[in-house]
Amino acid sequence: MRPLTELETKTFFEKLAKYIGRNITHLIDRGDETYCFRLHRDRVYYVSESVMRKATSVGRDQLISLGICFGKFTKTGKFRMHVTCLEYIAQYAKHKVWIKPNGEMPFLYGNHVVKAHIGRVTEDTPEHQGVIVYSMTDVPLGFGVTARSTSDTRKMEPTAIVVFHQADIGEYLRQEDTLF
Amino acid sequence: MAGRPAPKKGANKAASPAQTNNNKRKSNPSKEPSSKKAKVAPVAAKGGKKSAKAAAPQDDSEDDESWAYGAVSGSDDSEIEEMDDEFVSAEEGSDIEVGALNDDFLGDEFAESDEESKGPGAAMFGSDDEDEEGQGEEEDEEDIFASNSEDDSDEDDMEAKSRKLDAAAQAEAEEAEAEMQTNIMLESDKYVLPGDDHEILQSTDLQVVQARIQEIVRVLNNFRDMREGNRSRNDYISQLLKDLCLYYGYNEYLMEKLFYIFPVSEAIEFFEANEVPRPVTIRTNTLKTRRRELAQSLINRGVNLDPVGKWSKVGLQVFDSPVPIGATPEYLAGHYMLQAASSFLPVMALAPQEHERVLDMASAPGGKSTYIAALLKNTGMVFANDANKDRTKSLVANIHRLGVKNAVVCNYDGREFPGVIGGFDRVLLDAPCSGTGVISKDASVKTNKSEQDFQMLSQLQKQLILAAIDSVDAGSKTGGYIVYSTCSVTVDENEDVVNYALKKRPNVKLVSTGLDFGKEGFTRFREKVFHPSISLTRRYYPHMHNMDGFYVAKFKKVSNKIPKKEDNVDLDEEEEFTPIVEEATKRNRGGKKSPGAAAKAVEEVEQIGFNANEDEELIRASQAKLLQTQKGIKLRPKKSA
């Protein structure tokens, strides 16, 4: 467990900014407690400092996880966000997509979101923008990347993909072994 | 009467035959129509033979049964008196006779009972007028009529005789009937335990076994009245245990262990309850939603559910669901956790307060840890430890899914605490156990647990509970509590462990679990006597509370110092545990430091006249020879060469 290096921080924040933009500052400067990002075995954890300090007494081999895992660095040095960070990024997300109940299950099985399933979309979402996918009852289901801007979407066919799938909460079941 | 001189009987008899025949003739006219005779005769003949048998001993043994003759012969003076005597004796006689008959009869009693409908007297006399009667019958009649051989008046004699016979026959018939009833009673009330040669019975089908189980349970429940003869309770119980093993498929060791925890009929209920799955329960994750909202959204999915009970505000019981309850969007979003009702209990007993630091020593898959975090409302912190690395995956997954932000997951052996980190406000130890409380979930427990497993487990549990106690900071303002729980019902893993902890750590005491239901822990069990405060612990049973078998004990740590006396005990304990190691090291040491001694030993051996090398050669040669004689075996020398 160690703090992120500058390069790592840059890659990580760039990725994160795709979803929550400048709201990253809200994650770092919190009113209640100081939180920090810590790297442990390629994974980035977001954890309060008090918990982190206590966790230092756990050996590296024995420490499995602390706080919330945001994602991991791949072997090529890129950062890959995990669905586990959904709660935080949903909180600060700028662009959102709501999908209809009949689109929930297809998305939770790892499929992209097609136009027919879209219930609502944040206005002015540009192309290739990270979006959070919600159910119509405002339960965050995952996140993805828009295939087209909101205005372009209007002209598309119902079966066309609007949001590319990045992560969904179905992964808790599907990828339990590899995710953690 | 027994004292009356019997020899007279012989005289009576000798005098009787002629009279008897007379009597027969006389009695005949008063007899029933001949059409019935044929029917009755065979039966009576049987009866006659039987009574002959019964009577036979009378002649030889001259014991109590000679009453009739004695009574008559002794009372020559007054007829009335004699009559009275006769009546009395007739009744008594019938008793005895029937008693004797019973011994012989058994098989024929039904035939005998038929007589009742045809008139007892007729039956009796029916045999008299047949000329082809057997000798035995003659004797029989002799016996009956001999008592009257000295009567003066034939008329009175006949009347008396017929009355006596009537009475006798009626009594006999009644007796037979009564016996029939007692036979039914015997079958139903007094269960006859199969003998030792019942190995064949063992393999019979389950219905028979079940019936036998029920019978034995009934006998055991009212042992004094229902037991058969002088069979001991153990006879019944050992048979019952065998049957239960067969019927429910437990191994004998476990069966015995579980059986003695309960009263007999409760034990059966317990085993029966283990065959039925417990209701599916879910726990609302209060970090993300509220129970009412969750219930609403699940009901919208067509799930049929209800609150689990008054004792929990977060539990929901799922009756049926058209969708898999472990894969709904709500589940994936972490709104609830699939969790047995019983595993709410230890966390409720632990009652963590906000801003506390809590350790869950054996936490996977995280049902209790996440519940603790929910009660902490994501303040403070939760140390979720599990010794099994593979299981930590599901633990981490659940922690993330339920949005627990203050958890640290680590992979230590629980016994390493507090070496890793101590000073916790509360510790939950849901110890690894045999799982005898969750047999309905995992039936493999029935067969795969042996005595060694139990020993190993309780040893581990004892070590863990001490580690748990030591990890707690008694000075904590809000806490200082330890909760010990298992999903097992055996005493070895529960009361015994708690008792051990109380003994080894006098700085803890048991406190009320705060759970208002459940059975009190045992303060004594079979030969063991535990600390009286163990009644504060709680037991939960599948047949009683409709949740998994469970045990919860809550300690309060009073001080961080282990009293002085304790240290000694600890030392003792170490000594207790180490001897094997010591011996081993001694042996090693011995081996290391004394090559000379070894050499000496070899010398000695040589002196005696054994040469190990020579012997080895010889042995190898003979082995090779042996192998050569056998087909299909390649010789080792080739390989080695």
Average pLDDT over residues B425-444: 90
Flag whether pLDDT at B46 surpasses 90.
no
Cβ neighbours of residue A83 closer than 8 Å, sequence gap 6 or more: A142, A143, A167, A168, A169, A171, A172, A179
A1: pLDDT strictly greater than 60: yes
Residue pLDDT, tens place only, B144-173: 444 444 445 566 677 777 777 777 777 777
Q: Are the Cβ atoms of B327 and A68 closer than 8 angstroms? A: no
Q: CB-CB: which of B332, B396, B406 is closest to A169?
A: B332
- Residue B245 is among the residues annotated as catalytic for this protein: no
Q: Which residues of A touch B399 (CB under 8 A)?
A: 65
Cβ <8 Å between B409 and A63 = yes
Residue positions forming the annotated binding site of B: 362-368, 386, 413, 430
Residue B408 with chain A: CB contacts under 8 Å = 51, 54-55, 58, 63, 65-67
Q: For residues B45 and B223, which has the higher predicted lDDT (pLDDT)? A: B223
CA dihedral B60, B63, B68, B70 (to 10 degrees): 100
Least confident of B9-18, B239-248, B395-404: B9-18
Over the stretch B91-124, which tens digit does the pLDDT of each residue have? 444 444 444 444 444 444 444 444 444 444 444 4
Choice between B199 and B516, residue whose per-residue pLDDT is larger: B516
Residue A17 tokens read as 């900014």
pLDDT at B44: 41
Q: Do A59 and B397 touch (CB under 8 A)?
A: no
In chain A, which residues touch B (CB < 8 A)?
A: 47-48, 50-51, 54-55, 57-59, 61-69, 84, 87, 104-105, 108, 135, 137, 139-141, 169-170, 172-173, 176-177, 179-180
* Residue A130 to residue A117: CA distance in whole angstroms: 18
What pLDDT is attached to residue B52?
Answer: 41
Q: DSSP secondary structure string, B166-187?
A: HHHHHHHHHHHHHHHHHHHHHH
Give the mean model confidence (pLDDT) for residues B366-391: 91
Shortest alpha-carbon distance between residue A155 and chain B (Å) = 30
Binding residues of B for S-adenosyl-L-methionine: 362-368, 386, 413, 430
Mean pLDDT across chain B: 72
- Tally of residues, chain A: 180
Contacts of A62 in chain B (CB under 8 A): 410-412, 420
Could you tell me the two tokens for B141? Answer: 């009649």
Q: What is the pLDDT of residue B283?
A: 93
B373: closest chain A residue by CA = A67
Nearest CB partner across the interface for B381, out of A54, A64, A176 = A54
Gyration radius of chain A over CA positions:
17
Residue B25 has pLDDT above 60, yes or no: no
Q: At residue B601, does pLDDT exceed 60?
A: no
What mean pLDDT is predicted for residues B310-323? 90
For the segment B396-424, what is each residue's pLDDT rounded down to a tens digit? 999 999 999 999 999 999 898 888 888 89
Our CA angle for B458, B463, B465, nearest 5°, is 90
Q: What confidence category does residue B204 fall into, taking pLDDT thresholds of 50, 70 and 90?
A: low
**Is B553 strand, coil or helix?**
strand
Q: What pLDDT, on a 0 to 100 scale, did the predictor assign at position A154? A: 85
Higher-confidence residue: B107 or B467? Answer: B467
* pLDDT for B554: 92
Nearest C-alpha in A relative to B356:
A51
Mean pLDDT (chain A, rounded): 89
In this predicted structure, the answer to whether residue B518 has a pLDDT above a threshold of 50 is: yes
pLDDT at B595: 46
Residue A172 Cα distances to A133, B44, B110, B334, angstroms: 16, 88, 75, 10
Q: What percent of chain B has pLDDT over 70?
A: 61
Is residue B219 a contact partner of residue B236, using CB atoms and an 8 Å limit? yes
Radius of gyration of chain B measured on its C-alpha atoms: 41
pTM: 0.67
Which residues of B fall within a CB distance of 8 Å from A67? Answer: 405-408
